[in-house]
């Protein structure tokens, strides 16, 4: 077993653009669940809307910023469609509706009737040009210590993590304000907040919209290092984001970032170690191809253990955020 490459591969995940995308989506979910108490089980839907609208707009000739703008606008449309019928109801209904909406959207983009637009099950490629053309970094190889990457991957990491840092700052400002105070109040007891003269519906819509926009931006960031594949937006994506959120701490700003890094490091380490053990014959009862599945079983186990033993996450305050919805 090559322990150095296993370790380096794991470390490389920490700053990968995919980790940044997951962190961003989890921050959106933190706004929904951690701060407002909205049970959104369809964060994958927001990521899907972000990815597809960015890719489709770019492929039809829109500039980078126009395409990102469309992702944001369409995520707001999704918020209105999901929010108006459900936010007046109990929290559980939002969970059911969002999980359903995410699956509906995934089936829509996968149908062969949509092949012209969404590529159906083939997905979409060839939309990176506009982002690439904005890259000020000269062509070449850049050594990060644990890996050597090209100018595109470096540019993507810089943009991705700058965005994550910026969003963390904005959320920090929001959550310490009186607006954030009302949001937390809604999480605790929305009738009490209503009786004190706050328009709970409007605030929940705002929270759903902010978290949704973050999910949509995460969708854009998620596809920049890869192609758009409908299979990526299944409910498992939502559950990974939930795992990340609960791992880091639901009612924290930095929790989702730490959670995303930890999640991907664990995935990479288990993959590397299991793969090594199987290859060197130490574990004989599973094959190399099964390793990929087994590590996701471990994710499921991790999620269960977290909810049972540390519901507040790594960074959370046990008193503030346990599983009391």
Partner 1 sequence: MSKVAKATQASLVGNLNPVPGVKKVDPILIADGVTKRYGGLQAIDVAHVEIPRNAIVALIGPNGAGKTTLFNILTGFETADSGSWSYDGKALNGKAPHLLPKLGMVRTFQLTKVLGLLTVMENMKLAALKQTGERLLASFFPFLWSRQDRALELEATDILRRFKLLEKQADFAAGLSGGQRKLLEMARALMTHPKLIMLDEPMAGVNPALTESLLDHIKNLKQEGMTVLFVEHDVAMVREISDWVIVMAEGKIVAEGLPDQVLKDPAVIDAYLGSHQDSDLGLATGRITLPTGTKSTRSGK
Count Cβ neighbours within 10 Å for each residue of 87-116 and write b for 16 or more, e otherwise: beeebeebbebbbebbbebbeebbeeeeee
Tell me: does residue 310 bind partner 1 (CB under 8 A): no
CA distance 13 to 18: 8
First-to-last CA distance in the chain? 45
Determine, following the binding rule CB under 8 A, whether residue 197 of this chain makes contact with partner 1: yes
The residue among 176 and 293 lying less far from partner 1, judged by its C-beta, is: 176
Q: Is 198 in the site for partner 1 (CB under 8 A)?
A: yes
> Could you tell me the two tokens for 222?
């998620």
Question: What single DSSP character describes residue 124?
Answer: B
Write down the least CB distance from residue 191 to partner 1, Å: 6
> 143 or 191: whose CB is closer to partner 1?
191
* Binding span for partner 1 by CB under 8 A among 1-9, 16-24, 102-110, 185-193: 185-193
Smallest distance from the beta carbon of 197 to partner 1, in angstroms? 3
191 binds partner 1 per the rule CB under 8 A: yes
Encoding tokens for residue 227? 């192609």
Nearer to partner 1, 34 or 272 (CB): 34
Q: How far is the CB of 180 from partner 1 (least distance, A)?
A: 7
Measured from the CB atom, is 227 or 322 closer to partner 1? 322
The yes or no reply on residue 189 touching partner 1 (CB under 8 A) is yes
Q: Which is nearer to partner 1, 57 or 213 (CB)?
A: 213
The distance of closest approach from Cβ of residue 164 to partner 1 in the complex, given in angstroms and rounded to an integer, is 18
Tokens 């959320």 sit on residue: 171
Q: Which residues, 6 or more positions from 228, have their beta carbon under 8 angstroms from its beta carbon? A: 51, 52, 55, 119, 123, 124, 125, 127
Q: Is 188 in the site for partner 1 (CB under 8 A)?
A: yes
User: Tokens 């490091």 map to which residue?
Assistant: 265
Cα separation, 247 vs 262, whole angstroms: 8
Considering CB under 8 A, how many residues would be counted as binding partner 1?
28
Binding residues among 124-183 for partner 1 as defined by CB under 8 A: 170, 173-174, 177-182
H-helix segments, 42-90: 43-59, 64-86
The one among 18, 71, 206, 243 contacting partner 1 by CB under 8 A: 206
- Token pair of 137, please? 């970094």
H and E: helices and strands count for the chain: 14, 2
- Contact between 193 and partner 1 per CB under 8 A: yes
Residues that bind partner 1 (CB under 8 A): 170, 173-174, 177-182, 184-185, 187-189, 191-200, 206, 319-321
């Amino acid at each position: 077993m090559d322990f150095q490459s296993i370790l380096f591969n794991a470390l490389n995940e920490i700053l990968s653009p995919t980790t940044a995308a997951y962190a961003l989506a989890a921050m959106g979910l933190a706004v929904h669940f951690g701060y407002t108490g909205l049970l959104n089980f369809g964060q994958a839907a927001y990521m899907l809307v972000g990815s597809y609208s960015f890719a489709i707009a770019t492929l039809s000739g829109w500039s980078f910023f126009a395409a990102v703008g469309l992702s944001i606008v369409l995520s707001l449309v999704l918020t209105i469609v999901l929010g108006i019928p459900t936010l007046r109801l109990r929290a559980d209904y939002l969970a059911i509706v969002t999980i359903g909406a995410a699956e509906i959207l995934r089936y829509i983009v996968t149908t062969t009737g949509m092949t012209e637009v969404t590529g159906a099950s083939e997905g979409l490629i060839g939309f990176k040009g506009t982002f690439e053309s904005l890259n000020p970094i000269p062509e070449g190889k850049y050594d990060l210590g644990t890996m050597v990457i090209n100018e595109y991957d470096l540019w993507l990491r810089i943009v991705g993590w700058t965005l994550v840092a910026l969003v963390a700052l904005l959320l920090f400002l929001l959550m310490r304000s009186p607006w954030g105070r009302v949001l937390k109040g809604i999480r605790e007891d929305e009738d009490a907040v209503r009786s004190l003269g706050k328009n709970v519906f409007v605030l929940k819509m705002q929270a759903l919209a902010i978290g949704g926009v973050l999910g949509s931006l995460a969708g854009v960031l998620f596809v920049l290092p890869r192609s758009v594949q409908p299979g990526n937006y299944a409910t498992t994506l939502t559950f990974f984001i939930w795992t990340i959120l609960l791992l880091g701490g639901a009612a924290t700003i930095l929790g989702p970032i730490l959670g995303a890094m930890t999640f991907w490091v664990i995935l990479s380490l288990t993959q590397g170690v299991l793969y090594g053990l199987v290859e060197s014959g130490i574990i004989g009862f599973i094959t190399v191809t099964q390793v990929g599945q087994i590590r996701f079983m471990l994710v499921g186990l991790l999620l269960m253990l977290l909810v049972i033993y540390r519901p507040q996450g790594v960074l959370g305050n046990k008193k503030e955020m346990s599983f009391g919805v």
